[in-house]
C-alpha cells in the first residue's frame, strides 16, 4: 500500500483526502489531522474552499488552546490544505467523501475520486443512509470501498459507523477499525441495510419528536428535556435535528420512507420548515434559534 500500512496497527494513513468542506467534512479532516495524517480537503469552488480553510484553521486553533494536541497551530496547518483540484487527491491513502446526501451526486463524485486514486488507496463515504452497495456498483474497486459514517459534531462524537457493502472486503473493514481507533473514536460494524443502525434509530426518534411538536404535546425545549433528563440523551432530538440540518433529516426520512415504509413518512411540519428555509443551525433558525 502507498504510505503507512494501516493493517499493521492503529496508525495514521500518511495522507487523507476529504471531499466536501462543510461542517462534517472539516470535522473529519480535523480528526485525521490531529492523529498525524496530512490532510487535503476538496471543495467545489474558491469561495467554498476559503470557507473550509477558515473553518479548519479555527478548529485547529481551538484544539491548541484547549491542549488536546501537543503540536502547534502552524505545524498542524502546514500539514493541511484546501483545494478545488481533484488531482490533488492522487497521493491520498484514504479518501472520505462527505458531499450532500444525494445519490446521483455521491455516485458521480465517487467515480471521479476513484479515477485519480492509486489502486492501493481506500475510498469511503460518510453517507448516513444511502446504500453502500448501490454507491459501489459503478466503482472499479468496490472491495476497497465502504461506509464511514461520522456523527455531528465530529470533535465531540465518539462513534463512527463502519458500513460493509456486499462487495466490501474484510481487509477494508479491518483497516477502517484501525482508522477509527487511531482518531480516538469507537467503531461499530453494520451491514448495508437502509438507514444502517444509527440513522434508522435516530430518525425514528426525531420524526416522533417533530410529530409531538406538531400535535402540541409540549414545546420543543420540553420535548428535548424529556429525552436528555429522562433518558440521558446527550442532546435532545429536536436540537440535534437543528444541528444535523432539517433538510438533511428530511432527505434521510424520504429515503427510508421509500425503502422501509410508512413509519418513516416525514411529518408535514418538517416539510414546511425546509420549504421555508428553516434548516436549523446553518440557516440560523429551526426548532430553536441559532443567532451565531
Q: What is the pLDDT of residue 11?
A: 56
Residue located via cell numbers 435532545: 236
Q: Give CA 250 to chain center in angstroms.
A: 16
Region 158-179: mean pLDDT is 96
pLDDT score of 114 more than 50: yes
> What are residue 123's DSSP bridge partners?
95, 145
Which residue did the predictor score with more confidence, 211 or 244? 211
pLDDT score of 138 more than 80: yes
- d(CA 24, CA 151) in angstroms, rounded, equals 8
pLDDT score of 8 more than 90: no
Confidence of residue 153 (pLDDT cuts 50, 70, 90): confident
> What are residue 160's DSSP bridge partners?
187
Read off the C-alpha cell for 109.
463524485
- d(CA 285, CA 279) in angstroms, rounded, equals 7
| Tens digit of each residue's pLDDT (9 = 90 or more) over 192-212 | 998 899 889 999 999 999 999
| Tens digit of each residue's pLDDT (9 = 90 or more) over 14-45 | 999 999 999 999 999 999 999 999 999 999 99
CATH class of 197-282: mainly alpha
> What are residue 138's DSSP bridge partners?
none
CA nearest to 249, candidates 210, 197, 223: 210
Mean pLDDT of the chain: 93
DSSP H or E segment with residue 50: helix 46-66
**180 CB-side CA count, 13 A:** 25
Confidence of residue 2 (pLDDT cuts 50, 70, 90): very low
| Tens digit of each residue's pLDDT (9 = 90 or more) over 66-112 | 999 999 999 999 999 999 999 999 999 999 999 998 999 999 999 99
The arrangement of secondary structure in 15-191, i.e. its CATH architecture, is 3-Layer(aba) Sandwich (3.40)
Q: In what order do the strands lie in the sheet with 186-191?
A: 80-83, 38-42, 15-19, 94-97, 122-125, 145-149, 159-164, 186-191
Region 205-229: mean pLDDT is 98
Q: Where in the chain is the domain with CATH 3.40.50.720?
A: 15-191
pTM listed for this prediction: 0.86
Region 258-280: mean pLDDT is 96
Q: Where in the chain is the domain with CATH 1.10.1040.50?
A: 197-282
Amino acid at each position: 500500500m502507498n504510505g503507512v500500512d494501516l493493517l499493521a496497527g492503529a496508525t495514521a494513513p500518511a495522507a487523507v483526502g476529504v471531499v466536501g468542506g462543510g461542517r462534517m467534512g472539516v470535522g473529519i479532516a480535523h480528526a485525521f489531522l490531529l492523529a498525524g495524517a496530512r490532510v487535503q480537503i476538496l471543495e467545489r469552488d474558491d469561495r467554498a474552499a476559503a470557507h473550509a480553510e477558515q473553518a479548519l484553521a479555527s478548529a485547529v486553533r481551538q484544539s491548541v488552546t484547549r491542549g488536546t494536541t501537543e503540536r502547534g497551530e502552524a505545524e498542524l496547518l502546514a500539514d493541511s490544505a484546501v483545494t478545488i483540484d481533484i488531482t490533488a487527491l492522487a497521493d491520498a491513502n484514504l479518501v472520505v467523501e462527505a458531499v450532500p446526501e444525494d445519490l446521483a451526486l455521491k455516485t458521480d463524485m465517487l467515480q471521479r475520486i476513484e479515477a485519480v486514486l492509486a489502486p492501493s488507496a481506500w475510498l469511503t463515504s460518510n453517507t448516513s443512509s444511502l446504500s453502500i452497495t448501490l454507491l459501489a456498483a459503478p466503482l472499479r474497486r468496490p472491495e476497497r470501498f465502504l461506509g464511514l459514517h461520522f456523527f455531528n459534531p465530529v470533535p465531540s462524537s465518539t462513534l463512527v459507523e463502519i458500513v460493509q457493502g456486499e462487495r466490501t472486503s474484510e481487509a477494508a473493514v479491518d483497516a477502517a477499525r484501525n482508522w477509527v481507533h487511531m482518531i480516538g473514536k469507537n467503531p461499530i460494524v453494520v451491514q448495508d441495510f437502509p438507514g444502517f443502525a444509527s440513522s434508522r434509530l435516530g430518525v425514528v426518534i426525531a420524526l416522533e419528536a417533530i410529530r409531538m411538536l406538531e400535535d402540541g404535546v409540549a414545546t420543543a425545549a420540553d420535548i428535548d428535556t424529556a429525552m436528555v433528563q429522562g433518558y440521558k440523551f446527550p442532546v435532545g432530538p429536536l436540537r440535534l435535528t437543528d444541528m444535523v440540518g432539517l433538510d438533511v433529516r428530511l432527505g434521510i426520512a424520504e429515503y427510508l420512507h421509500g425503502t422501509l415504509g410508512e413509519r418513516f413518512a416525514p411529518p408535514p411540519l418538517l416539510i414546511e420548515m425546509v420549504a421555508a428555509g428553516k434548516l436549523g443551525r446553518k440557516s440560523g433558525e429551526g426548532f430553536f434559534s441559532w443567532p451565531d
